[in-house]
Amino acid sequence: MTSNPLAPSWLAVPADANELAASVWSKNSARDASGELVIAGVPASAIAAEFGTPVYVVDEADARGRALEIRRCFDDEFASVGGSVKVYYAGKAFLSIEVARWMNDAGLNIDVASGGELAVALAAGVAPARLGLHGNNKSLAEIDRAVSIGIGAIVIDSEVEISRIAEAATRHGVVQPVRLRINSGVHASTHEYLATAREDQKFGIPLVDAAAHVALIRAEPSLSFLGLHSHIGSQIFESSGFAEAARRLFALHAELLAGGPVPELNLGGGFGIAYTSVDEPLPIAEIAARFAQIVSEGAAALGIPIPVVAIEPGRSIIGPSTTTLYTVGTIKDVLVDGTDVRKYVSVDGGMSDNIRPSLYRADYSVRLANRSSTAEPSLVRIAGKHCESGDIVVHADYLPGDVTPGDLVGVPATGAYGWAMASNYNYLGRPPVVAVLDGVARVIVRGETEEDLLSRDAGVRAEAATETQPAKGAQS
């Protein structure tokens, strides 16, 4: 079969439109003898029957295994060069009490970016000393709570936060460890809105102003300077950006050592994952080896000790572990430019459960989940049910041409920034998150019902209260 002219150049017609690319699907995803998608021993149809669709399905063993792999690879590589590493799970990718416990069990620290994420980590029983707080506009309440519980580190993102954190630490009678986020000017090869170390954006302190800010931190008796922090972007497939950012930070790090200790260097996260079969992210073992080499060579070149290195992976742990299941509703063959046909397959979710395709034009893959098929592959666009023309879940992939209403489809690699960025647009409830392990499925985040949504509407409560009050002038 020849490629549909409407398909992007990178997308080839699959030899088998039922195949599950190992690089994209969670490690315990496979088809059974009947052709149905089974995740960690649980058939897709059984998950849909019990929990409904849309539903996020997390392969628990895969998520736990990726967390352990990252920690072990980085520990081993840095030990080989005489260094050590702190691995923080970037909670913004997806955080729930269960996931926080999985990360804690794997020996990871957790990075949070709001008071709400902090509350989740604490509810999971994670020790405050193993938490870090990020954010370009932390509220006074968030800072005070973090300091009061003994949080392990707060990342300072602007000059005013120095005095705010110092005042909170003084008030609570503690010395608060802090890092200073640096805008290194390094641009990762990624979407413009995912790049977080360019000069003209909201995060961090310009490199040229860093030394002056560190002096202000060191002048506060209630603050302890841990080191510099950098994050150059997300969904990064190469190491050259990290190497250049590290080179610039090392020069500053060495300069700062003249004024006092600088025990750590945080190089952030952003390691890419495969969303389609053509994506080729670096293996974690190779990333760890390159990081260790970059850091050891940088320290040797400047004649300084190797600092404790911190990293913050999130997507690379939780992203590949999760698949979203949808039910097909309507199907339309749309004639484009009068000659070519694109099949629009609409599902019962959309931008409310995965905003990334609309926000970043991110690409995803899709496969039939309740069955396999020998029908010829057909180019499809998986559309959501929202009142937006840009409500797309999968821009382009091939499904068997006999896809029909009522079929289940699975979209893999949705664990990062799917539920975390979900909304109630068009008054849809956010879907449940279900963990599957050894043939057992269980809810780890309950889905929202219409009653949940209405319970927050003050108009409903006011109306109910009015109905229970006697009318004016009525006898009591």
Question: Which residues participate in catalysis according to the annotation?
Answer: 387
Encode 5-57 in three state secondary structure: CCCCCCCCCCCCCCCCCCCCCCCCEEECCCCCEEECCEEHHHHHHHHCCCEEE
Residue with token string 């960690």: 40
What b/e sequence results for 220-256 when a residue is b if at least 16 CB atoms lie within 10 Å of its CB, and e otherwise? bebbbbbbbbbbbbbbbbebebbbbbbbbbbebbbeb
Q: Which two tokens stand for residue 289?
A: 């080896």
Rounded-to-integer distance, Cα 239 and Cα 36, Å: 38
Within 8 A by CB and 6+ apart from 32, the residues are 38, 43
Alpha helices in 174-283 (DSSP H): 210-218, 240-257
Cα separation, 379 vs 353, in Å, equals: 23
Residue labelled with tokens 């503690």: 174
Retrieve residue 197's tokens.
């170390």
| 32's tokens | 């059974």
Q: Give Dmax (Cα) for the chain.
A: 89
- Residue 171 has a CB neighbour count (10 Å cut-off) of 12
User: According to the 3-state scheme, what is the secondary structure of 279-311?
Assistant: CCCCCHHHHHHHHHHHHHHHHHHHCCCCCEEEE
Cβ neighbours for 437, distance < 8 A, ≥ 6 positions apart: 40, 59, 60, 61
Asked if residues 378 and 402 have their Cβ atoms less than 8 Å apart, the reply is no
What's CA 270's distance to the chain center, in Å?
9
